[in-house]
């Protein structure tokens, strides 16, 4: 029965409906035309924007949008040594200890300061200080001298350090150039608060997990065509791929092998796959038993059949037989690289006094989950292969924070006996891997102290020319590393990005950095 109350209620409800804006409640997932590039990152950033205060890959990738570099290294397999000039017009080795850098005129920082030689000098001298966490330089500040004969010329003199100035050539494509004015304020100043560079995009703000960049109209190569870049941390791989599929993301990274299959052939999505600068390693704790014995390390290497690991990885890994990526300076497929050889494994174990693995202590193999693809899966494969040869191995799978805390060497030897970890440095410079991990002054994960390896690392660093350096790396250093096996490089990572097919003009570097200065939404 209809009542007055019912009629009044119905009229009121009808009137209310006309006031509701459906756009407030519902909006189409695709109503986002004219947007900036939306990049979804798998890794979070640090809280400090100072480029010398971190070693985080995602933050280095943000720097690649904002900062300028003296040169850039495309690092393609067909020409890994190629460098393209950017802030520098030329980089010339004057003699063994002196490097001359001629700078490009007419460039300015995002804050309006003109770029000149003093900025390069300030960057080098600040970045090489021994208290900086990112230790990329061949030696501390007091081992080299930087002079600026004029505003567009820089001379780096490494006589004091005794190493070749050519070590700065590859670093030139890796070190973002900071403003001398910012550097003068020190680590507590504006360096830590925001990025200020000469790149195509200007840092606007950090909004929660979004790093907001806008196109810099004063970019010396011409203003970018896209309005900006929003670099967002999204930790879950499934979430990233859903964002790609529903059009909310322009680019996503770190695809799992199964996700590559899902996206292949999808209309509107383009995949980019490239050999990365990152190798994945099985690091041995070389400062404590039993892996302080090179015979046992080599025996473990011969127990591992890497072809099975490649099957597990699918498109996420690429075979390599060296301790550096194929796109790094000095790579060669080593003839003596340890391959799967159970008989040799048993022979070495017997020679070491542990026939069939008898007498070996319980071994802990630490790996992570949730960061690199398939670490748990191939960790199980490696564990089974080692156990097959008599190594009493237990696999310990940790989430990333706990793994990070157990990763590095410490006095008495780091936790566990073997650790899985990758190492990625976006430059052809091999010492960013080799010296960092295998020289006794650094030995970050292995704890290795080997005078012979130290001597060869010092020798190649002091080489008079790049050709001489290459020879030492290929014929002496890396073969010795293969013989002493402080670690086993399992494979080279393959960097896979998925992109909106309408987004063209991007250039991707093999550490994940992207040049979007010429990018457009077609």
Partner 1 sequence: MFLVNFLIRRLAQGAVIVLLVSFLIFTLLRVVPGDPVRLIVGGMAPDALVEQIAEEMGLRDPIPVQFFRYMSGVVQGDMGQSFIRPASGAAVGGASFDDNTRSERANVLDLIADTAPYTLQLAVLAMVFALVIALPIGIYGGLKPGKWPDRFALYIGSLLISLPNFWLGIVLALVVSVNLGWLPAIGYQGFSYTILPAIVLAVEIAPFLIRTLTVSVAQNMGESYISVAAIRGISHRRIVMAHALKNSSVPLLNLLGVQFSMLLGGVLVVEFIFDYPGLGLLTINAVLQRDFPLIQGIAIVTSAAFVMINIVVDLIATTIDPRLDY
Closest CA to 282 of 446, 448, 444, 451: 446
457 scored as a contact of partner 1 (CB under 8 A): no
Phi, then psi, of 36 in degrees rounded to 5: -75, 175
CA distance 248 to 256: 19
27 scored as a contact of partner 1 (CB under 8 A): yes
Cβ neighbours of residue 517 closer than 8 Å, sequence gap 6 or more: 199, 200, 219, 221, 222, 224
5, 19, 30, 467: residue in contact with partner 1 (rule CB under 8 A):
30
CA distance 409 to 403: 13
15, 16, 20, 26: residue in contact with partner 1 (rule CB under 8 A):
26
150, 151, 236, 358: residue in contact with partner 1 (rule CB under 8 A):
236
> C-beta of 104: minimal distance to partner 1 in Å?
31
CA distance 147 to 355: 60
59 scored as a contact of partner 1 (CB under 8 A): yes
Phi, then psi, of 317 in degrees rounded to 5: -135, 155
The C-alpha R_g of the chain, in whole angstroms, comes to: 26
271 scored as a contact of partner 1 (CB under 8 A): no
Judge contact between 281 and 320, C-beta under 8 A. no
45 scored as a contact of partner 1 (CB under 8 A): yes
User: Is the CB of 312 or the CB of 400 nearer to partner 1?
Assistant: 400
User: Is the CB of 143 or the CB of 192 nearer to partner 1?
Assistant: 192
> C-beta of 81: minimal distance to partner 1 in Å?
27
> C-beta of 431: minimal distance to partner 1 in Å?
15
User: Is the CB of 145 or the CB of 409 nearer to partner 1?
Assistant: 409
**Maximum Cα–Cα distance for the chain, whole Å?**
102
User: Is the CB of 294 or the CB of 373 nearer to partner 1?
Assistant: 373
User: Is the CB of 140 or the CB of 218 nearer to partner 1?
Assistant: 140
User: Is the CB of 95 or the CB of 261 nearer to partner 1?
Assistant: 261
397 scored as a contact of partner 1 (CB under 8 A): no
Cis-peptide into 290, omega within 30 deg: yes
Q: How many Cβ atoms from other residues are within 10 Å of residue 463's Cβ?
A: 19
Looking only at the bridges linking them, the beta strands covering 153-157 and 98-103 are antiparallel
User: Is the CB of 218 or the CB of 413 nearer to partner 1?
Assistant: 413
Closest CA to 108 of 246, 270, 218: 218
307 scored as a contact of partner 1 (CB under 8 A): no
**Positions in the binding site for partner 1 (CB under 8 A):** 24-30, 43-48, 53-56, 58-59, 133-135, 187-188, 192, 205-209, 211, 232-236, 238-239, 242-243, 245-249, 398-402, 404-408, 410-411, 444
């Amino acid at each position: 029965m209809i009542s007055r109350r019912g009629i009044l209620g119905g009229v009121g409800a009808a009137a209310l409906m006309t006031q509701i804006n459906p756009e407030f409640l519902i909006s189409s997932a695709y109503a986002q035309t004219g947007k900036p590039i939306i990049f979804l990152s798998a890794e979070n950033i640090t809280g400090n924007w100072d480029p010398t205060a971190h070693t985080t890959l995602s933050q280095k990738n943000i720097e690649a949008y904002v900062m300028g570099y003296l040169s850039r290294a495309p690092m393609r397999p067909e020409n890994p040594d190629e460098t393209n000039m950017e802030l520098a017009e030329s980089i010339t080795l004057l003699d063994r200890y002196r490097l001359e850098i001629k700078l490009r005129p007419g460039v300015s920082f995002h804050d309006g300061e003109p770029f000149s030689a003093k900025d390069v000098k300030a960057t080098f001298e600040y970045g090489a200080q021994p208290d900086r966490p990112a230790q990329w330089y061949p030696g501390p500040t007091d081992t080299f001298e930087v002079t600026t004969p004029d505003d567009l010329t820089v001379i780096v003199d490494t006589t004091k350090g005794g190493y070749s100035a050519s070590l700065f050539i590859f670093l030139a494509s890796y070190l973002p150039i900071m403003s001398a004015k910012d550097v003068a304020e020190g680590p507590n100043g504006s360096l830590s608060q925001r990025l200020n560079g000469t790149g195509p995009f200007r840092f606007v703000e950090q909004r929660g997990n979004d790093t907001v960049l806008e196109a810099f109209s004063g970019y010396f190569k011409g203003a970018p065509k896209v309005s900006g870049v929003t670099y967002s941390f999204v930790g879950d791989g499934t979430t990233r791929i859903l964002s790609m599929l529903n059009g909310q993301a322009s680019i996503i990274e770190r695809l799992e092998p199964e996700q590559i299959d899902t996206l292949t052939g999808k209309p509107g999505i383009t995949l980019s796959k490239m050999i990365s600068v990152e190798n994945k390693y099985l690091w041995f704790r070389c400062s404590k038993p039993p892996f302080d014995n090179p015979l046992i390390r080599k025996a473990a290497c011969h127990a591992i059949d890497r072809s099975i690991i490649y099957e597990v990885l699918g498109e996420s890994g690429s075979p390599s037989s060296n301790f550096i990526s194929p796109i790094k300076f000095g790579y060669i497929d080593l003839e003596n690289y340890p391959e799967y050889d159970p008989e040799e494994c048993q022979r070495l174990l017997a020679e070491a006094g542990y026939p069939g693995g008898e007498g070996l202590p319980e071994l802990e193999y630490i790996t992570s989950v949730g960061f690199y693809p398939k670490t748990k899966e191939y960790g199980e494969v490696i564990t089974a292969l080692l156990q097959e040869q008599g190594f009493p191995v237990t696999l310990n799978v940790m989430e990333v924070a706990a793994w990070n805390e157990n990763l590095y060497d410490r006095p008495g030897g780091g936790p566990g006996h073997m650790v899985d970890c990758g190492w990625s440095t976006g430059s052809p410079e091999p010492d960013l891997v080799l010296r960092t991990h295998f020289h006794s002054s650094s030995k970050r994960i292995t704890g290795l102290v080997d005078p012979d390896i130290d001597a060869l690392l010092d020798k190649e660093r002091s080489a008079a020319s790049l050709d001489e350096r290459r020879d030492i790396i290929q014929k002496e250093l890396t073969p010795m590393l293969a013989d002493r096996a402080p670690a086993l490089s399992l494979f080279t990572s393959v960097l896979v990005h998925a992109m909106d097919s309408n987004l063209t003009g991007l250039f991707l570097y093999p550490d994940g950095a992207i040049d979007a200065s010429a990018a457009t939404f077609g």
